[in-house]
Structures are given as structure tokens and as C-alpha cells.
């Protein structure tokens, strides 16, 4: 059990300096899974040491894979596609939707029994979106509410490929089915309404696992002839973690921040497009590629922002950044509307409700809609506005906690955020990094 910590934000200084952020959470999950199923030893460097990914690491250890952990590198002794063994106890995926849904896909096609569970938030989140199509593939999965909710009990079976039209654009659904497809007879095709993040596909390419993409469809031939060998994976910095400092630098006057080696996968960079359309000043420096993923350094300087319309076509590539975008919109000049974002209601918290509540308590003017929100910014005449310091709650959601912290930097008085232990799920040392940027600005005063 982690203790419910709190964080106090003392505003009044710009953010300045050059920093790095944790490794990408999505890429780290996939790196652990695919190196565990590889033949031979792999290293996973600059990985995300958040609890979510550590839980995925522990899950594969419980499935018989030797993984040696050091702060910078995981050494994974892959057991090949058919080398996993039955866990002796339920596997706890903690707070991680990606962890539980992707691992469910892997376990559905094994020849043993397993149980997956997680924390209170995970046990409220929809699992039917993976359970239903996996059952169509022949999987035997039981769970609360007919398999809609975890814990999930999986009796591994021989699966068969299907063609599945997903009602949601979800990389977790797509990846769960792609991983199940690896262990299935025949072809598995997943089609989604809009392209979700493609880290699984990129990592398949990196390991030489064949698949086909056509528009928003991706297909994989099961039980592939190839057995992929372990190799080093270098995880890019997490743009979703960098986003807090990017928005902080954009909205706190006098800021100038460079974040090094950030993942720039186009299925993730919606935040940069939205912020630029709001008037943000973001430079992309030194673009390059690492382990099949584009990366760059990002430099952001403060500018006045203005409201924009964010519609359904921008949602998948921006999905995790809405909490922090709400902060940008709340201080911008003019109105921001977000539509087609109903998926936000089934994240670590209902992010439409939790962000509206927390930002309203800080003086923001927000209307909730079933599929988004309307935010009337506090900025005026080419100046960003200021939120009001208050005592807020994270609602157990790491991104809500970090977003409120950044919002607090614009206030005249301090902001206390309660229940901040959840930040460790994705961004251990967030507060220390933020202080580093505030201190750096203190040095140049």
C-alpha cells in the first residue's frame, strides 16, 4: 500500500532549464511483453519506472520470465512464444489499463489458467471491450458482471483468428487482439474508426514480426513461422509526461524549457498540434529515430494562448493529454470546445468530470458535455489568465494530479493537491523535476 501523499505548489516563478522525462509508458509495456516472448536476452533501456510498467514486469516474472531490474535497464531473459508458465497466484496489474488489457490478450491463448486483477480504479474500468472479441476468438474468460469487470479469470485455449471491427479507437483493444492473434490459428484483422497509437505495430516491425496495415486495419497471421530474437530496446521519453512541462512552460510567463529525447510518434503528437493552434511556441530540435520510434528535443517558451475547437479527428492522438490541455484552455483567451471525447469518461478517472470539478474550484469556467467540454478561458487581450490557488484532489488519477499542479503555477497563492501517490504510476519524481525547473529559474534571477 502506498501512502496518500500530498503536494504543495508555490507559484511565482517561471520554468527554466533542460530536463529529461521518464521513458514512454506505452512503449515500456510493449517492450516488456515482446522481449519476454522473444528468444534470448534483451535489454530495455530508459524504460518507464512507473508502477504501471513495474506491474507488467512483475506479471511476466510471475509467468516464469527472468527479468533483472536496475534503475536504467531491464535485462529480460525471453522464453520464446510458448515459454510462459502458469502463475501460482492472481496477477495484480495495479492501476494500468494497458497492462491488464494487453496481458489478457497474451494469456487468452496459453495452455494454462490465470487471473488478472488491479486496484479499485481498474476494477471499475470496462474490460468487455477486450473480453468480447477475445471470446469470439475462442477464449474462455470469466469476470465480474459477465466479464465486463476485473478480476478476469482466463482458462487458456487454442484461439482462432477473427476480423474485428472495433467500435472504439483504442490501442489497448487493438494491441490486446494483435497479441492474442499471435497465438491464434489463421488471420486476425482489427479495424478501428480512427488510427490509435501504433507502438505495438512499430515494435512488431522492430522485432521482425510480420503484419499488414491498410488504412485503419491491421492484420496478423497467427502462430508465425518467425521466432523473434531478443535485442536491445531503447525507450523514448514519454511525450505524455513531457506534456505537463510543455504546457507549464507555455502558460507561465517568462518560461523557457527544453525537454530532451521525447517520443514524436505521429499517433501521439496531437498535443503539439493543438497547442500550436492555440498560439504556443514549440520548437522541434534534433529529430532522429530510436528503436523504430521518432524522437526529438522540444523547446517551449511562454506565449499568450487562445481557445480552439478540438473535434473527433484529433482525439486518439491527444487522448491522454486532455487533463493538461484543459489547464491550457482554462487560462487561454477565448473559448475552447472539446467534442467526440467520450473515451475520457473511462480513463483512470472520468476525466471530463474530474478536470471540470478541479478546475472550477480553481476559478475556471467550464461546461461539461457528455462527450467533452466547453472551457471559457480566463485570459484577456493577449495575456494568459490565472487560476486561483486552492486545495484539490487527484481523484486517484495521476494525470489529474499533475495537471492541477501545473495549473497552480499560474495562481497568486499556493495550491495543495491531495492524494498524489498515484503520480508514481507514470511519473515518479515529477515533483522533483518540476522543482528543478523552478529552481533553475531562481538561479538566473
Where does this chain bind ligand S3P (CB under 6 A)?
26, 97-98, 170-172, 175, 196-197, 319-320, 343
> Which value, to the nearest 10 degrees, does the dihedral of the CA atoms of residues 228, 232, 238, 239 take?
-80
CA 283 – CA 257 distance, rounded (Å): 10
Q: How many residues does the chain have?
A: 445
Closest to ligand S3P by CB, 26 or 354: 26
Place of cell 528535443: 297
CB of 172 to ligand S3P, least distance (A): 3
Residue 97 or 237: the one with the smaller Cβ distance to ligand S3P is: 97
Quickly count: other Cβ atoms within 10 Å of residue 415's Cβ: 26
Task: Check residue 196 and report its DSSP letter.
Answer: -
| Helical segments of 9-141, H only | 25-36, 51-62, 97-108, 128-136
Cα 312 from Cα 357, distance rounded (Å): 23
Cβ nearer to ligand S3P, comparing 239 with 378: 239
416, 7 in Cβ contact below 8 A? Answer: yes
- The least distance separating ligand S3P from the CB of residue 399, rounded to whole angstroms, comes to 9
Q: Which is nearer to ligand S3P, 58 or 197 (CB)?
A: 197
User: Facing residues of 187 across strands?
Assistant: 221
Active site residue 320: yes
Strands 415-418 and 391-393: parallel
**Closest residue to ligand S3P using C-beta atoms:** 26
CB of 132 to ligand S3P, least distance (A): 15
User: Which residue do the cell numbers 509508458 mark?
Assistant: 25
Half-sphere exposure in the Cβ direction for 25 (13 Å, CA): 26
CB of 69 to ligand S3P, least distance (A): 21
CB of 441 to ligand S3P, least distance (A): 30
Nearer to ligand S3P among residue 194 and residue 360 (C-beta): 194
Which one from 119, 320, 419, 424 is the annotated catalytic residue? 320
Minimum CB separation of residue 174 from ligand S3P in Å reads 7
Nearest residue to 332 (alpha-carbon basis) of 382, 365, 377: 377
> Measured between alpha carbons, how far is 53 from 64 in angstroms, rounded to an integer?
17
Q: Characterize 256-293 residue by residue with b for buried, 16 or more Cβ atoms within 10 angstroms of its Cβ, and e for exposed.
A: bbbbbbbbbbebbbbbbbbbeebbbebeeeeeeebbbb
d(CA 404, CA 409): 9
- Among residues 243 and 319, whose Cβ is nearest to ligand S3P? 319
- Which is closer to ligand S3P, CB of 171 or CB of 409? 171
What residues act catalytically?
320
Amino acid at each position: 500500500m502506498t501512502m496518500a501523499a500530498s503536494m504543495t505548489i508555490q507559484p511565482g516563478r517561471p520554468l527554466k532549464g533542460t530536463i529529461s522525462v521518464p521513458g514512454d509508458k506505452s512503449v515500456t509495456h510493449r517492450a516488456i511483453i515482446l522481449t519476454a516472448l522473444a528468444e534470448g536476452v534483451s535489454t530495455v533501456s530508459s524504460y518507464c519506472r512507473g508502477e504501471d510498467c513495474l506491474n507488467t514486469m512483475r506479471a511476466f516474472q510471475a509467468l516464469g520470465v527472468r527479468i533483472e531490474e536496475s534503475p536504467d535497464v531491464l535485462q529480460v531473459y525471453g522464453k520464446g512464444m510458448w515459454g510462459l508458465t502458469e502463475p501460482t497466484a492472481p496477477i495484480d496489474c495495479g492501476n494500468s489499463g494497458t497492462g491488464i488489457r494487453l496481458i489478457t490478450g497474451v494469456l487468452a491463448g496459453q495452455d494454462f489458467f490465470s487471473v488478472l486483477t488491479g486496484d479499485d480504479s481498474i476494477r471499475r474500468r470496462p474490460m468487455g471491450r477486450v473480453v468480447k472479441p477475445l471470446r469470439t476468438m475462442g477464449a474462455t474468460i470469466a469476470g465480474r458482471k459477465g466479464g465486463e469487470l476485473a478480476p478476469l479469470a482466463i482458462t487458456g485455449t487454442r484461439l482462432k483468428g477473427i476480423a474485428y471491427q472495433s467500435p472504439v479507437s483504442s490501442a489497448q483493444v487493438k494491441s490486446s487482439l494483435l497479441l492474442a492473434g499471435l497465438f491464434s490459428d489463421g488471420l486476425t484483422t482489427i479495424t478501428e474508426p480512427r488510427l490509435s497509437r501504433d507502438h505495438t505495430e512499430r515494435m512488431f516491425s522492430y522485432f521482425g514480426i510480420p503484419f499488414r496495415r491498410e488504412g485503419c486495419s491491421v492484420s496478423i497471421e497467427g502462430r508465425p513461422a518467425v521466432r523473434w530474437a531478443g535485442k536491445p530496446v531503447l525507450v523514448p521519453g514519454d511525450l505524455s509526461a513531457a506534456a505537463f512541462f510543455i504546457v507549464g512552460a507555455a502558460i507561465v510567463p517568462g518560461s523557457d524549457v527544453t525537454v530532451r529525447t521525447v517520443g514524436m510518434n505521429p499517433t501521439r503528437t496531437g498535443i503539439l498540434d493543438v497547442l500550436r493552434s492555440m498560439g504556443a511556441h514549440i520548437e522541434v530540435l534534433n529529430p532522429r529515430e530510436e528503436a523504430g520510434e521518432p524522437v526529438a528535443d522540444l523547446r517551449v517558451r511562454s506565449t499568450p494562448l487562445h481557445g480552439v475547437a478540438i473535434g473527433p479527428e484529433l482525439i486518439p492522438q491527444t487522448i491522454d493529454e486532455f487533463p493538461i490541455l484543459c489547464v491550457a484552455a482554462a487560462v487561454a483567451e477565448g473559448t475552447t470546445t472539446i467534442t467526440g471525447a467520450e473515451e475520457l469518461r473511462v480513463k483512470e478517472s472520468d476525466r471530463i468530470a474530474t478536470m471540470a470539478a478541479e478546475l472550477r474550484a480553481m476559478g475556471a469556467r467550464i461546461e461539461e458535455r457528455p462527450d467533452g467540454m466547453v472551457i471559457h478561458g480566463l485570459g484577456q487581450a493577449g495575456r494568459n489568465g490565472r487560476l486561483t490557488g486552492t486545495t484539490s484532489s487527484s481523484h486517484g488519477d495521476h494525470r489529474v494530479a499533475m495537471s492541477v499542479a501545473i495549473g497552480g503555477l499560474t495562481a497568486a497563492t499556493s495550491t495543495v493537491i491531495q492524494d498524489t501517490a498515484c503520480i508514481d504510476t507514470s511519473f515518479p519524481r515529477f515533483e522533483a523535476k518540476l522543482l528543478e525547473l523552478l529552481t533553475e529559474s531562481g538561479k538566473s534571477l
